[in-house]
Structure 1
Amino acid sequence: MSRIVVTGTDTGIGKTVFAAALTRALGATYWKPIQSGLLDGADGETVATLGVTRILPEAYRLTEPLSPHRAAELDGVAIDPARLVPPADDPLIIEGAGGVLVPVTRTLLYADLFARWALPVVLVARTGLGTINHSLLSIEALRARAVPILGVAFVGEANEDNEATICAIAGVKRLGRLPILDPLDADRLAAAFAAHFRLEDFR
């Protein structure tokens, strides 16, 4: 059984690219419950270009590239957490938005939602300066809510000390590191994922 949440330490760190690689490698279905920033394109469209074939529609599609709570307000939408229940698809990869403490509503954070789901989480983190602090804070926030953490997946240029330090201090599994790919396409992403991660760590 592989039902996994992919979250991140921040926005713009490669979480969607990693989620696409993991979804394809597991032959899974992809679901992003809330999409903010439709003017910049939806993440579901991005993962489709990266080889993912089973993509579920979002529960909410919001216009502005902002935290869901604010994007929803600007669109005149009230986000109902009851609509954010994971579908029964298995395997399933669920992608969050931004970091673990991003507000879904004015009273609900993503970490709170993850706690309700009780599904294992992969934390995607950068490798560069600032990642130790961001990663450890994210892990603390998840643990405070008893969210199971599968491990940390890094994205970026190799930084052995940062990667090892985060996992040693937090006591979490180091799942691997996805290098920056330029150009980025489905075949190169699949090859990079296969070279740097072990599928058994996600099952």
Structure 2
Amino acid sequence: MAQHFWVVGTDTDVGKTLVTTYLMRFLQEKGDKVTPYKPVQTGIVIENSKSYYADTALYQSFSNTVLVDEHINSYSFKIAASPHYAAMQEGEKINKDGILQHINRLKTKFDYVICEGAGGLFVPLDECGNYYFLDLIQESQLPVLLVTRTTLGTINHTILSLEALKMRNIPIAGLVFNRDEGNELEINNVHMIQQYINLPSIKIPSLECTSSIRDIQLEVEPIFERLMKL
């Protein structure tokens, strides 16, 4: 039995894409049919006269199979900003119903669909502030894996995010503590968060470069065991 799920974060740049990519490879190497899906990405990268979007490019570079562009993304906006603002700058609107329908189509084609959020939970998807990423997650009826930091400030950000998910009755599969240096402060931060909520968790060390994704071995089985029960 498989389970589709979200990888969401306490904030922007906490490592959602790295975690999504790692889990994609983990499941592919087990022989599962899996696709990542980033509904909305912002911030085009231009290097040596080439342009790309970093999130979906990372998926493509580490996937063991060819990923279909139409499967892995619905909206890409050039400006690095909140989705609602980036869309507004290009005269576009994000169709949340289209995203939900796309997720449902992917669920019929793959054993696992790993949906990746954008920024934190309360990132707006419309310019009126009536619809947030948290609303989309709730409507999708999929569980989440929450990615957070280990550094100063993470206790507050993580517990607020957990509370927001619990208030919406969104099942939480576990926690990922990213860029862990293992110092005394970080150890205590992780301990305090784990005292607050009893969930499977993994810690990802700070990586020198994204190519190190291939080298790390994480104990993700407890998280997938919980996913199967949600």
Q: Are 1:38 and 2:62 counterparts?
A: no
Deviation at 1:93, TM superposition (A): 0.7
CA contact (8 A) 1:26 1:199 kept: no
Partner of residue 180, structure 1: 206
Q: Is the 8 A contact 2:173 2:200 kept in 1?
A: no
**Separation in 2 of the partners of 1:189 and 1:59?**
25
Q: Is the aligned partner of 1:11 residue 2:12?
A: yes
Structure 2: where are the runs of 5+ without partners? 29-33, 47-51, 226-230
- Opposite residue 117 of structure 1, the aligned amino acid is S
Q: 2-side partners of 1:20 and 1:129: how far apart? A: 26
Report how far residue 172 of structure 1 moved: 3.7
Question: 47-56 or 61-70, which moves further after superposition?
Answer: 47-56
Q: For residues 103-182 of structure 1, what are the structure 2 equivalents within 5 Å?
A: 103-105=124-126, 106-156=129-179, 157-158=181-182, 159-169=186-196, 171-182=197-208
Q: Following superposition, which runs of at least 4 residues in structure 1 exceed 6 angstroms of deviation? A: none
TM-score (norm 1): 0.90
Q: Does 1:93 align with 2:93?
A: no
Equivalent-residue separation in structure 2 for 1:100 and 1:52 (angstroms):
30
CA contact (8 A) 1:39 1:64 kept: no
- Per the TM alignment, residue 50 of structure 1 is displaced from its structure 2 partner at its CA by 3.0
2:155 aligned partner, one-letter code? I
In the TM superposition, what is the alpha-carbon distance from 1:57 to its structure 2 partner?
A: 3.6
Structure 1: gaps (5+ residues): none
For residues 125 and 197 of structure 1, the distance between their equivalents in structure 2, rounded to whole angstroms, comes to 17
CA contact (8 A) 2:35 2:72 kept: no
> Post-superposition shift, 1:45?
0.3
Give SS of 2:115's match: strand
RMSD: 1.7
Structure with greater Cα Rg: 2
Aligned mates of 1:139, 1:52 — CA distance in 2: 33
Residue 49, structure 1, aligned to residue 35, structure 2: no
1:191 aligns with 2:227: no
**What TM-score comes out, normalization by structure 2 length?**
0.80
> How far apart are the structure 1 equivalents of 2:64 and 2:38?
13
Measure the CA separation in 2 of the matches of 1:174 and 1:200: 6
Moved more, 93-102 or 172-181: 172-181
CA 1:172/1:75 → structure 2, altered by over 3 Å: closer, same or farther?
A: farther
Distance 2:192 2:64 in 1: 33
Q: Which has the higher mean CA deviation after the structures are superposed, 44-53 or 8-17?
A: 44-53
The answer to whether the Cα contact below 8 Å between 2:36 and 2:72 also exists between their aligned partners in 1 is: no
Q: Does 1:59 align with 2:74?
A: yes
1:16-35 superposed matches below 5 A: 16-27=17-28, 28-35=34-41
Distance 1:118 1:60, change over 3 A: same
The 1:92/1:112 distance shift into structure 2, 3 A limit, reads same
